[in-house]
Amino acid sequence: MTAIIGLTGGIGSGKSTVARLFEKLGAVLIDSDAIVHELQARGAPLLEQIAEAFGRHLIDESGALDRKALGALVFRDEQMRLRLNALVHPAVGAETLRRVVAARDAGASVVVIDIPLLFESRRSGRGGAALMDFQATVVVWVPEPVQIERTMARDACTREEALRRVRAQMPLSEKRALADYVIDNSGAPEDTERQVREVFDAIRAAAA
């Protein structure tokens, strides 16, 4: 049996680091953000849909998406963000499901799907996460001040902008309450790695 794990977190939580740790332990990793980038690549149909919906100024001189400009737009306007999600989620969901089937057919024992908006998608009933039958959900948690500091460092943005981006998402405290497992990524790297190993072993044992 293949155990399907939904991994989520929030901006600045270190979810990608945790995803790589699961992969290091032997899980097949399906990265929703990477799928988004592929589907929004130069010349892709989804990129044209985004340009039509939000303006051609979001396409740079090389024909690629200006992700920073798009992010600044949607994080300032809830309706814009919901409109973008309505375009992106169905395409990402379909590709995610295709990759899950391929991993199962290849005999994978654990598949981890990194989905930033896992619980949001379930709540809205849209996207691949709404349709997926997860054996377990895992949230990567850190306190909000840590999210803000990490977002400022990663995106070279102001504290105000980082706070806006953090609070545009479902609070990690809410996600923590909905998850089957919580990984506290606010401490030392070795502590995070220990927690990931414990969750991985528990999920594999339950699926055996």
Asked if the structure places residue 81 within a domain, the reply is: no
What is the reported pLDDT for 88?
87
Asked if the structure places residue 56 within a domain, the reply is: no
Asked if the structure places residue 14 within a domain, the reply is: yes
Domain count, the chain: 1
The low-confidence residues of the chain, meaning pLDDT below 50, are none
Asked if the structure places residue 166 within a domain, the reply is: yes
What is the reported pLDDT for 139?
98
**Residue 189: partners with Cβ closer than 8 Å, 6 or more residues away:** none
What is the reported pLDDT for 105?
95
Q: Which of 165, 166, 170 is nearest to 144 (CA)?
A: 166
Q: Which of 206, 203, 191, 93 is nearest to 141 (CA)?
A: 191
Provide the residue range defining the domain that includes 146: 3-40+91-207
Asked if the structure places residue 76 within a domain, the reply is: no
The CATH number of the domain where 26 resides is what?
3.40.50.300
What is the reported pLDDT for 126?
57
Asked if the structure places residue 99 within a domain, the reply is: yes
